[in-house]
Amino acid sequence: MPDHLLAIDDVAEDFEDILNWAIEFKRMWKSGDEIALNFFPLADLAVGSIYEKPSTRTRVSFEVGINRLGGYPLTLLKNDIQLGKSETVADTANVLSRFLGAITYRCFAHSDVAELAANSSVPVLNALSDKHHPCQAAADLMTILEHFPERERLKVAWVGDGNNVLHDLMLACAMLGIDFSYANPEGYDPAKDVVARAKDFASENGSKLSGTNDPVEAVKNANVIYTDVFVSMGEEGLKDKMADFDGFQVNMELISNAEENWAFMHCLPAHRGDEVTDAVMDHANSIVFDQAENRMWAQMSLLAYLVDNGAWSAMGEMMGVGI
Ligand code: CP
Ligand code: NVA
């Protein structure tokens, strides 16, 4: 059991169980199952969420999900706390660990969330850094498993920037043996160390992983087409970046190269008209809002798992999932 979630491969060992737990718990909760409705593994625990960048989905899904698990969510916006002004990340971690049962942190530099985790005695969950977005990947793979329960020979294609969302999606697909192909413009490759980690998982699990500069090649035979903004938070100064993404928009013409049963995914927020057209976003095959909802269920599973007070395993045993 890992202490923290900095990147999605931190939970590689139990990843499939974490997702199946989330899927089954969501189903039970929605059907009004009393056991799910009264499952409070975070009772008496406060969970603090630090945000250095804006958020809609991550913030709301953590606040509501923590509440549903009986915990008390505390949202800590960068302008309201001492972190980054007069206090170090390490001192902040030491102080917050005295009060909280877990900490989530959305930051700019990945090294900051790593430092917070290194100095925290309670689980730290990366809520997006410039390198990783593991909570997104957990929700994404949960959504893929829900939509393609028979996932034999599934292929996920990424078209866009070599960014944080791609990194964890690529790792997560490889961890589950799902074929993965990414297309990015020259100069916007994903990080080499992440690709190497993903390749190790892919070869362990017998799946394919490839990169190209040709979106059509990536999308060919894909069941899922995924994109994200071309300019991420913190990159607003890179004004010329957009021009390098000519030809990388996900539109119906590009999607015509995919499998007939294609699904479109996007972590959101989407910049309609840039990386994706309205026709794709609003298509019946777009599952972007399922993804957004699943942020909450996936994070509830991750929180219950990482807090490690026995509740996650007990519930899993009852649901016939995992350990
Ligand atoms: N996908 C995602 O992380 O959205 P927010 O920035 O709204 O949290
Ligand atoms: N790549 C985007 C994801 C937003 C959820 C960013 O980091 O801004």
Known active-site residue 266: no
Is there a common fold for 8-133+295-311 and 136-290?
A: yes
> Is 101 in contact with 46 (CB distance < 8 Å)?
yes
Ligand 1 pocket, residue 55 CB under 6 Å:
yes
The catalytic position among 228, 249, 291, 299 is: 228
Q: Locate the domains of the chain by residue range.
A: 8-133+295-311, 136-290
Reported as a pLDDT band with limits 50, 70 and 90, residue 219 is: very high
Residue nearest to atom 7 of ligand 2 (CA): 232
Known active-site residue 249: no
- pLDDT at site 323: 62
How distant, in Å, are the alpha carbons of 3, 175, 199, 226 from that of 171?
19, 6, 8, 14
What is the model's pTM? 0.98
> Which ranges constitute the DSSP H helices of 148-287?
164-175, 192-205, 215-219, 252-255, 278-281
Residue 242 reports pLDDT greater than 90 = yes
The CATH number of domain 8-133+295-311, selected from 3.40.50.300, 1.10.240.10, 3.40.50.1370, 3.40.640.10: 3.40.50.1370
State the distance from the centre of ligand 1 to the C-alpha of 246, rounded, in angstroms: 24
- pLDDT at site 151: 74
State the distance from the centre of ligand 2 to the C-alpha of 165, rounded, in angstroms: 7
Measured in degrees and rounded to the nearest 5, phi and psi for residue 6 equal: -100, -40
- pLDDT at site 322: 75
Model pLDDT for residues 172-212, shown as the tens digit of each residue: 999 999 999 999 999 999 999 999 999 999 999 999 999 99
State the distance from the centre of ligand 1 to the C-alpha of 268, rounded, in angstroms: 6
Ligand nearest to the CA of residue 129, numbered in listed order: 2
Reported as a pLDDT band with limits 50, 70 and 90, residue 110 is: very high
The catalytic position among 59, 147, 266, 295 is: 295
Tell me how many degrees the CA angle 34-56-15 measures, rounded to the nearest 5.
55
Q: Look up the CATH superfamily of 136-290.
A: Aspartate/ornithine carbamoyltransferase (3.40.50.1370)
Give the strand order in the sheet containing 155-159: 209-212, 179-183, 155-159, 224-227, 263-266
